[in-house]
Amino acid sequence: MSGPLSFQVHATAGPARTGILHTPHGAVRTPAFMPVGTYGTVKGMTPVELRELGADMLLANAYHLWVRPGHREIEALGGLHGFMGWDGPILTDSGGYQVFSLRDVSKVTEEGVRFRAPLDGQYRKLTPEVCVEVQEALGVDLAMAFDECIEYPADRDRVARSTARTTRWLRRCLAHRRHPERTALLGIVQGGFHEDLRGAHAQELSELDLDAYAIGGLSVGEPTEQLLAMVGFTAPRLPPHKVRYLMGVGYPLDIVEAVSRGVDLFDCVLPTRSGRFGQVFTSQGRMNIKHNRLRDDRRPVDPACACYTCRSFSRAYLRHLFLSNEILAPRLLTLHNLTFYQSLMARLRAAIAQGPQELRAVRDQAERWMARHED
């Protein structure tokens, strides 16, 4: 399939690879972390700040933008890029995860999903055709196919039925595309935690020669060991010349482990959500800015970080802002956390180019980060 994406691998270190993903709105250095802008904004951050801290591509949520303000309204205002003032690549989630999270107020049928939207209480029907229509109207670079994400644990028969439905929905997505030259479509590999089902699904989707591929059905409550085992099983079964995206992951160590298993793209709300709750990632471990021990601490959040927050403000001042409920506090902590994540991705890209030993060193460092809490 010829589409709007091209992907070149520049270096490898075992299964890990670094390269460039070319999209209609620019290049993405991989492996890459996409800050999450669910409603068309990364909370508290401007597009200029996101560029300056190193983000190449953002993620928005097609379901939420469909509900409010509406995809046709955004299309009339210049598409999502113009609407949110971001001129780089954008990937949108299809709404499959919202179907999962709203499973208590939704009904899944072969046609699609009928649910009651929490925002306004109205009933809506999300189908593969609607999913494609919305994302193409938004004008995004990468669109996710509509899939069924199910709970963990689930019995094998339920996983098998759901995986087969995901394939049928994918084929309907493909048939409904109107602008394949500008919006890529990613198929999502399901199969739960059953290697035979996941392997067969990866093979079936690979034969469709899609624009790119995502590894789905993970990060739904399973132990990290199972998540990484499925990533390591699935990634090498996807086409080596297509970009691979692991949805909703995660902690720095999880990202490093997944990169080591051959994944290229990531997203997660963790760095932004943590910043809003006073949690920060540093080269010395995780820190709670609210801790009383920081009330007279003149040091920056992370002496090893060169972000605006760390260059300009002390831990004591940031603690004061946070405890005073000043809006600047979550903004500054979010900026730092996103810088930390983008620095990690840059470190991974450099390590892969240098070889397996350097990649192991980054992994060891990430393990130390996650084990330590700096007070």
Secondary structure (H, E, C), 29-95: EECEEECECCCCCCCCCCHHHHHHCCCCCEEEEHHHHHHCCCHHHHHHCCHHHHHHCCCCCEEEECC
DSSP 197-217: HHHHHHHHHHTTT-SEEEE-S
Could you tell me if 132 and 173 are in contact, meaning their C-beta atoms sit under 8 angstroms apart?
A: yes
Task: Report the alpha-carbon distance of residue 257 to residue 269 in Å, rounded.
Answer: 18
DSSP 103-131: GGGEEE-SS-EEEE-TTT--EEEE-HHHH
Which residues are known catalytic residues?
A: 93, 267
Taking residue 347's Cβ as centre, other Cβ atoms within 10 Å add up to 17
Could you tell me if 277 and 43 are in contact, meaning their C-beta atoms sit under 8 angstroms apart?
A: no
